[in-house]
Structure 1
């Protein structure tokens, strides 16, 4: 008898090796595989329970999450798992052995969602229509193939809904006087504590956090200050009277509980939040996330007060090997003295939230300087939440980790800092404490 062709012999050896690897990583599924996700419909800041059953003992599987945005962009994530001896795994107890994250991370699949390799990198996962759910497809694939783009056979799939708005949330656009923005009101008669929501130098109207705040019991005003409708298209001189107009609007709203108003700001919005609690007495609670204790990016005016902007030195910008810009050393601190916000004038309470690996600027140092200034003036109206391993963009826990973003001015990716899982745990912890702070100071 003639021996089999050499190619067939090699193929046979490869098949035997593949079978050996499959046995080493656990048996195949003995029957139908089930994927249990609870709840199937939830707010985006709520945790999920994710369990798989019906697998073979010690079977290797890959769990994936996929989101197709309203703009047609695909985001995905993956983790490699191994079933226990009974063919089960539970993300609250079972560690990821590889993929986009490692260890026991119950929300790892949602926290590490990022643009698919076929998409433009550094995009942010955002929801445009907040009154409809974000659909997330959770999948279980056989084996560990080493790449999310080439998964093993699909064993089971489950679609879930993640919502920004609770039933009954009321929403309206504002175009009153100079004021522009959106207001979100909880269901019910109220009145509700009023909060103004500010973001950074990307401009435009950002509504997702205000909508989520309304789902948590606040009357929230998402307030743009440039790059929206007939507001200035670029970040020019800022007049605090515009923000005072927003405070007055909320105070007079029949569904808003007064007299004090709160403000939450991120990045550039954070130093605006500090200026508001300093100069506008109706602001009694200010949440400063990843901010500076000095006025940044544009000069600030209010009545006869003028705070110049902290200057930037672009010559100190670093281009990393990845092509990402590191701008963490570009602030010229020699220009800071005249730009520092006189926080000792603030009668309201301040919550500083900072990531210790912030690569936009040293927000931890700025918060510590602000606190030291308050202490020197006999003030104790502050709290500090400082998170090791967290970067610049600390948002509600619905927001997956981003290590870089496309900068509005440079059009290039800019480093944000942080480690994915540590950053997302910081988002989870700080979100609840921010709500507690606002409820305490506004109720």
Structure 2
């Protein structure tokens, strides 16, 4: 149910609420309808959005709205014209205005952003109960082309879309095993399944949605926090790779996980941790490095007799844009000036997939991936693959994740520029998600 305040905002903006899927108005040919298939769907799965019962060439606006469990609103819109039969297929009809232009079948979901009354630069995240509750998107079809800041036209039809992060039968286990904390997601069935550890960046805490989607796609996935959760350190302190080795050992020994090795997927800071794991931990045989660095970043890393100092950000190099958004693209120190910080990837026996956006404004991840590949080639290694995407920023996530121009940084307290162009970035997410799964299946 919509909260009282949120419901009032909805009513003021969209008009009286009617049950999803019901017609709310008529074109000249009869009642307008709005349909979405498949319904329900997994959050990383494309959907087809169609309207019927419109007048020939009628101008309409499609709007999407999400109300999170914290009662934050995210919305998007696109303007269309029905065909000569009064039909509209978002997968074939170009958007003529709104939050994107052209034929983009998933454009309404990809361009969801905080509504005008909300704090900007927030990321849309699913509810905490991933296996028991979907992300609900409410679609509404309005007459006319609604311009930004104007009250939408008459509602012609509505439809609710349930986007699940968990397919039926996925099992969720909250993990407290030795020092290891996190959430283990197991696919339905007896298995065994390929095992993957999932790491995010320096935002801290436990992020589960990617691991849950991986389980829905056949992986035993461990969402592994490393600070800012339960009894783990609350801030970034020196890392000891033994914690990550203990997690790898737990997953490798799990009766539902098949060998001979496990994989790890990491984003941002999690990416250089993923590279360190495949370099030093033998049980890790496949590593996906998304928007990362070829050196150890942010805090020093220890493992047995190994010590990797960190490269850090020089905050004096931050550029403040006119919008107030911070550009960090020139702040990270050059790893080549601190050779001991560079991860000795030539020691890795497994396979590595680098995924980078060519317009990454937080890390120059394409350059760092090329430096890593150069080092591997120098040592006669070819155990890598590079996915490099033009027009793509830093936060490359599963295709259920809308584009974020900037995100409020946990430490700086200000929005930080992510880079990329909305539609190019989201197509890169769609393509890389498929290829990441193929890579992990191949090497696990």
TM-score of the superposition, structure 2-length normalised? 0.92
1:367 corresponds to which of 366, 369, 393: 369
Alignment check: 8 A CA contact 2:27 2:53 kept: no
Q: Which runs of 5+ in 1 are unaligned?
A: 1-26
Deviation string for 1:317-340 (max 9, x for gaps)? 000000000010001216442211
1:312-391 alignment, distance < 5 Å: 312-333=313-334, 335-391=337-393
Distance in 2 of aligned mates of 1:28 and 1:247? 59
Match of 1:281 in 2: 282
Match of 2:123 in 1: 124
User: How far off is 1:28 after superposition?
Assistant: 5.0
1:19-418 alignment, distance < 5 Å: 29-127=28-126, 128-131=128-131, 132-147=133-148, 150-333=151-334, 335-418=337-420
Match of 1:14 in 2: none
Three-state SS of the structure 2 residue aligned to 1:158 is strand
Distance in 2 of aligned mates of 1:70 and 1:89? 31
Alignment check: 8 A CA contact 1:211 1:220 kept: yes
Distance in 1 of aligned mates of 2:217 and 2:27? 44
Distance in 2 of aligned mates of 1:199 and 1:300? 17
Distance in 2 of aligned mates of 1:374 and 1:414? 32
Over the aligned positions, Cα root-mean-square deviation in angstroms equals 1.1
Three-state SS of the structure 2 residue aligned to 1:383 is strand
Distance in 1 of aligned mates of 2:68 and 2:237? 32
User: How far off is 1:148 after superposition?
Assistant: 6.0
Deviation string for 1:59-105 (max 9, x for gaps)? 11000111110010011100011111111111111000010000000
Three-state SS of the structure 2 residue aligned to 1:330 is coil
Distance in 2 of aligned mates of 1:182 and 1:396? 18
Distance in 1 of aligned mates of 2:164 and 2:384? 32
Larger Rg: 1
Deviation string for 1:157-191 (max 9, x for gaps)? 00111100011111111111111111000000001
Alignment check: 8 A CA contact 1:29 1:59 kept: no
1:441 corresponds to which of 434, 439, 443: 443
Distance in 2 of aligned mates of 1:100 and 1:378? 47
Alignment check: 8 A CA contact 1:294 1:336 kept: no
Three-state SS of the structure 2 residue aligned to 1:281 is coil
Distance in 2 of aligned mates of 1:322 and 1:212? 35
Three-state SS of the structure 2 residue aligned to 1:344 is helix
Match of 2:21 in 1: none
User: How far off is 1:220 after superposition?
Assistant: 0.3
Q: Which runs of 5+ in 2 are unaligned?
A: 1-25
Residue range with higher mean Cα deviation, 63-72 or 122-131: 122-131
Distance in 1 of aligned mates of 2:113 and 2:150? 13
Task: Name the count of aligned residue pairs.
Answer: 416
Distance in 2 of aligned mates of 1:30 and 1:290? 51
Alignment check: 8 A CA contact 1:51 1:89 kept: yes
